[in-house]
């Protein structure tokens, strides 16, 4: 497999999952500083011009929830998802979909405003940026109060959604949200940082 990623992006979640699964894969760094994600070569891999992307022997997978689910199912011995429990697996997908469709989008309003408004509309961009601390705070309040079981997201067993929540919780500080306001998420964040897979990926991305 070949895993395409960019530094300190949502790629972190899938990269941790690959390490947890013990997968053999090749990493390919996409340089956002040079807009490599829009290059002709990369657009042949992912026409969306985004990361991550995972090249498998059957084709290419994009979108974090899909990549995470693939890893969990392709490496069942790693037990990264409740594959034998349809309801619990659906709950996992419920959380991952929320992280993808809502929480990530909330965060993106801070620096990707041009996806929603014209470049000349600076006032609208500024308004979106100003609201990021509230929307991110509200999202993590919902996760903490309604979705997170503990000690891991789904209870006693670590899963791919722990990789995803950890990745996005790393963004809270930059979004002016204090992670300590969410005791369960904060404790989860600290325990995640002790895992060898997380330490390896954090080193790659220059995180601490």
Q: Are 14 and 39 in contact (CB under 8 A)?
A: no
Confidence band of 45 (pLDDT split at 50, 70, 90): very high
Q: How far apart are CA 203 and CA 201, in angstroms?
A: 5
Report CA-CA distances (Å) from 208 to 198, 199, 204. Answer: 10, 9, 11
Could you say which of 3.40.30.10, 3.40.50.150, 1.20.1050.10, 3.60.70.12 is the CATH number of the domain covering 86-195?
1.20.1050.10
Measured between alpha carbons, how far is 169 from 103 in angstroms, rounded to an integer? 10
Neighbouring C-alpha atoms within 13 Å toward the C-beta of 65: 15
> Is the pLDDT reported for residue 154 higher than 80?
yes
CA distance linking residue 99 with residue 106, whole number of Å: 10
pLDDT band at residue 123 using 50, 70 and 90 as cut-offs: low
pLDDT tens figures, 67-100: 999 999 999 999 999 999 999 999 999 999 999 9
- With cut-offs at 50, 70 and 90, classify the pLDDT of residue 208: confident
**Is residue 37 predicted with pLDDT exceeding 70?**
yes
Q: Are 12 and 18 contacting, i.e. CB atoms less than 8 angstroms apart?
A: no
Q: Report the pLDDT value the prediction gives residue 20, as an integer from 0 to 100.
A: 98
- Average pLDDT, stretch 36-51? 97
pLDDT for res 184: 98
Cβ distance 4 to 51 under 8 Å? Answer: yes
pLDDT-derived band at 119, boundaries 50, 70, 90? low
What average pLDDT does the segment 95-110 reach? 94
The CATH superfamily of 2-78 is Glutaredoxin (3.40.30.10)
Domain ranges of the chain: 2-78, 86-195
- Domains 2-78 and 86-195 in one fold: no
- CA dist., res. 97 & res. 94, Å (int): 5
Q: Which letter does DSSP use for residue 151 in this model?
A: S
Using the predicted structure, report yes or no on whether residue 4 has a pLDDT greater than 60. yes
The per-residue pLDDT for 206 is: 95
pLDDT at res. 129: 85
Whether the pLDDT of residue 113 is over 60: the answer is no
- Please tell me the predicted confidence (pLDDT) of residue 110: 81
Cβ neighbours of residue 194 under 8 Å, at least 6 residues apart? none
3-state secondary structure of 155: strand
Q: Who contacts 93 (Cβ-Cβ below 8 Å, separation ≥6)?
A: 65, 69
Task: Give yes or no for a contact between 12 and 206, defined as CB atoms under 8 angstroms apart.
Answer: no
The pTM of this model reads 0.94
Q: Spell 139-171 as b/e; 16+ CB within 10 A means b.
A: bbeebbeebbeeebbbeeebbbbbbbbbbbbbb
């Amino acid at each position: 497999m070949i895993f395409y990623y960019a530094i300190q992006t949502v790629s972190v979640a899938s990269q941790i999952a690959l390490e947890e699964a013990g997968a053999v894969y090749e990493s390919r760094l996409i340089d956002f500083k040079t807009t490599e994600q829009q290059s002709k070569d990369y657009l042949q891999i992912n026409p969306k011009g985004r990361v991550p992307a995972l090249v498998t022997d059957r084709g290419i997978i994009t979108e974090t929830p899909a990549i995470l689910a693939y890893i969990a199912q392709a490496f069942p011995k790693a037990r990264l998802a409740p594959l034998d429990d349809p309801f619990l697996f659906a709950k996992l997908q419920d959380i991952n979909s929320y992280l993808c469709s809502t929480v990530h989008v909330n965060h993106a309003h801070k620096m990707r405003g041009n996806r929603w408004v014209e470049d000349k509309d600076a006032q609208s961009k500024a308004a979106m940026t100003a609201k990021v601390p509230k929307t991110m705070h509200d999202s993590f309040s919902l996760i903490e109060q309604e979705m997170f079981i503990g000690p891991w997201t789904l209870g006693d067993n670590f899963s791919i959604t722990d990789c995803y929540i950890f990745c996005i919780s790393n963004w809270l500080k930059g979004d002016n949200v204090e992670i300590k306001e969410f005791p369960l998420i904060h404790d989860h964040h600290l325990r995640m940082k002790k895992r060898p897979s997380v330490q390896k990926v954090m080193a790659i991305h220059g995180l601490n």
